[in-house]
Amino acid sequence: MVTAVRALIFDFDGLLVETELPIFQAWQRIYREHGHELPIDQWMTTIGTASAAFDPFEDLQHRIGSALDRANVDRLERDYYRELGALQTLLPGVQDYLRDAHHLGLKVAIASSSSRKWVEEHLERLSIGPAAWDAIVCREDAVRTKPDPALYLEALRRLRVLASEAIAFEDSINGIRAAHDAGIFSVAVPGQMTAGQDLGLASLRLSSLTEMPLRTLLAQVGQSRPDPAN
């Protein structure tokens, strides 16, 4: 006997939409305008979380040895991101998964370390606004962001499902750690920025959601995860 999956919980940045590469490129442009290179190893620690120790603004100030206007830098980052990210669409396979989840009667949610404003603005642009989701949990909804499991635990609470009844989809080590620590079967789907990360903690790794249809994934999850009561 196996536990039936009742819900799918998706990360947002880099999983539903490739926002992570344009954000990196925007900051990289700002660094280069000041004669420096954005340290990729430190940047990688920020992906999937809002609580990373690395702050590119503070780091750049330190490198140039003088104070910067944070409001001006933030404006540049927003402007450059809009240039790079305005044409970003849903990543391959996402629409199929959402459609099939609906047909199968599965609940769908987002668990993101990003702000609600950021997530919902993108969802509206992509015509899959808040009404299309059973729950949207963002950094305002938990005391801590990923890699802490708090966002996932809140998503489970709002969906009214057990951890054993959900599947989490993530692209980063911070997200995979959060799902793992929440006790949720996790599927790693790395993006361009996270393909080199060690995602071995994930229950399953896919190169893209197009690699495995949802029905096939559900069958595989059912075979690999026994009912905890048995």
Instruction: Report pLDDT digits (tens) over 92-132.
Output: 999 999 999 999 999 999 999 999 999 999 999 899 999 99
pTM for the whole structure: 0.87
CA–CA separation, 153 and 3 (whole Å): 18
Catalytic residue flag (residue 13): yes
Q: Could you tell me the end-to-end alpha-carbon distance of the chain, in angstroms, rounded to an integer?
A: 8
pLDDT over 60 (residue 226): no
Question: Mean pLDDT across the stretch 153-159?
Answer: 99
Determine the pLDDT at residue 166.
Answer: 98
Catalytic residue among 11, 134, 148, 171: 11
**Band of residue 222 on the pLDDT scale cut at 50, 70, 90:** confident
Determine the pLDDT at residue 32.
Answer: 96
Catalytic residue flag (residue 55): no
71 three-class SS: helix
- DSSP for residue 113: S
CA–CA separation, 22 and 82 (whole Å): 8
